[in-house]
Amino acid sequence: MSNAARARLTGAMQRLATGDKRALEEVYRLTNVKLFGICLRILGDRKEAEDALQDVYLNLWRRADRFDPERASPISWLATFARNRAVDRLRTGKVRAGSVPVEAAAELPDAAPLADDLLIDAERAERVHGCLDTLDENTSDAIRAAFFGGHTYAELAEAQEVPLGTMKSWIRRGLAKLKTCLEKGE
Amino acid sequence: MTERDQFAAEYALGLLEGEELLVARARAAREPDFADAVAFWEAKLAPLLDDIGGAAPSPALWQRIEAAIEDAPASGEIVDLRQRLRFWRFASFGAAAAAVAAFALVLIQPLPSAPGPQTAEAPMVANIPIGDTDLRLAVTYLPDRREMLVSASGLTADGVHDHELWLVPDEGELRSLGVVRPGEEVRMPLDPGLAALIHNGSQMVLTREPIGGKPPAAAAGPVVAEGTFATI
């Protein structure tokens, strides 16, 4: 995000903890397009994604103290929170499992690009992409499908037609390599 | 990579389901080192979310959210309850799924001492939401066995308090159903007098007490949550 937008969002997140309703509206205004894009991507259905998004902001309202500004940037935290809530919906069976097919989930999304001031961190995005590209293709595809599609080991194994144990060992090896690569960038 | 880092990465990516997911959620709530490892992966992967394009939700969504928060107490107003309940941290899915799993366990592993009428009376369940958290204390009662199951999976103790569960009979004083054991599923037989008081619609309350539960001479502590039995 641009520094000005980031500062406005940080301020609004802090005011939220005092029960300021206008602060929630400001957080919503600054972030709903990005967070809805994330929910829609994971859930593949507008209605489900809207329910997930509502759940995100209501949770934020009730538990504003969950956000710790010393640990994460607000937009990074909110984007992660929205993704996790959307994935939770897949797991609780509220949504038909595998709404977004595994193959589609691995591809890079092509929805409307976001303005610069909504980006989490372009530089670090480049690094994590660079690290994923060092993995073999099956593994990086599987990790991307898990991240962008909310797919489980079992779904990934089925989609790539390999035994569950094979998929687990691909991904576990990939994650170990990814961690080493990501830590180099710190 | 350590086992902990690997499991944290799998959890952060969302690869887990079923039992493993429950274990991961419980560890994230209880083990600070595990929670830190999850946060590492979340922070490192978060920039990937920039690849997802934006999309506008329906313009009516903000009104829906605004209407919903009218019904919900503001963060500031419930801060006291939240402080009292800070140590209860768990997601509803975990508690609910654990309750179902534990319930299944009851059905397939009868206590040897259980008296044996074979005709099943419908079980009763109560989900007791804890404050404004996602946590549920799951209570299941099997009338034909006079057994109760209290599932507090994923809950963590604060080391200072215990919580005691009480039945609110239609008449008379509260009857203790025991101290909740955080992180455990507890099965217990009920004595017939107590069991006779439980019916569809019976109320329960959860109170905060000193370690070990309410001292005999003292009044019960503050009520922090309540719930109702419903036949399923």
Our CA-based measurement puts residue B156 at a distance from the nearest CA of chain A, in whole angstroms, of 17
Residues of chain B neighbouring A124 (CB-CB closer than 8 A): 44, 47
The residue type at B150: V
Contact A138, A156 (CB under 8 A): no
Our CA-based measurement puts residue A102 at a distance from the nearest CA of chain B, in whole angstroms, of 13
Is the pLDDT reported for residue B109 higher than 50? no
Percent of residues, chain B, with pLDDT higher than 70: 76
pLDDT band at residue A88 using 50, 70 and 90 as cut-offs: confident
Secondary structure string (H, E, C) spanning chain B: CCHHHHHHHHHHHCCCCHHHHHHHHHHHHHCHHHHHHHHHHHHHHHHHHHHCCECCCCCCHHHHHHHHHHHCCCHHHHHHHHHHCCCCCCCHHHHHHHHHHHHHHHHHCCCCCCCCCCCCCCCEEEEEECCCCCCEEEEEEECCCCEEEEECCCCCCCCCEEEEEEEECCCCCCEEEEECCCCCEEEEECCHHHHCCCCCCCEEEEEEEECCCCCCCCCCCCEEEEEECEEC
CB atoms within 10 A of CB B161: 16
Given CB atoms, is A111 within the 8 Å cutoff of chain B? yes
The ipTM, to two decimals, is 0.89
Pick from B6, B48, B79: CB nearest A128: B48
Task: Determine the average pLDDT of the residues in A143-171.
Answer: 94
Chain segment B170-227, per-residue pLDDT in tens:
887 888 999 888 888 888 889 888 998 998 888 898 888 888 888 887 778 777 888 8
Q: Give B178's DSSP letter.
A: E
Contact B191, B180 (CB under 8 A): no
pTM greater than the 0.80 cutoff:
no
CB contact under 8 A, B9 and A179: yes
The full set of domains in chain A, from first to last, is 1-96+108-120 (1.10.1740.10), 121-186 (1.10.10.10)
CB contact under 8 A, A32 and B76: no
Given CB atoms, is B55 within the 8 Å cutoff of chain A? yes
Measured distance CA(A139)–CA(A178) in Å, rounded = 11
Pick from A90, A111, A179: CB nearest B55: A111
CB contact under 8 A, A32 and B56: yes
Given CB atoms, is B98 within the 8 Å cutoff of chain A? no
Chain segment B115-149, per-residue pLDDT in tens:
433 345 778 888 887 765 667 788 988 888 888 88
pLDDT-wise least confident of A36-50, B116-130, B152-166: B116-130
CB contact under 8 A, A118 and B133: no
Given CB atoms, is B84 within the 8 Å cutoff of chain A? no
Contact B227, B137 (CB under 8 A): yes
The residue type at B35: A
Residues of chain B neighbouring A53 (CB-CB closer than 8 A): 57, 61
B 127-186 residues inside an 8 A Cβ radius of A: 132-133
Residues of chain B neighbouring A179 (CB-CB closer than 8 A): 1, 5, 9
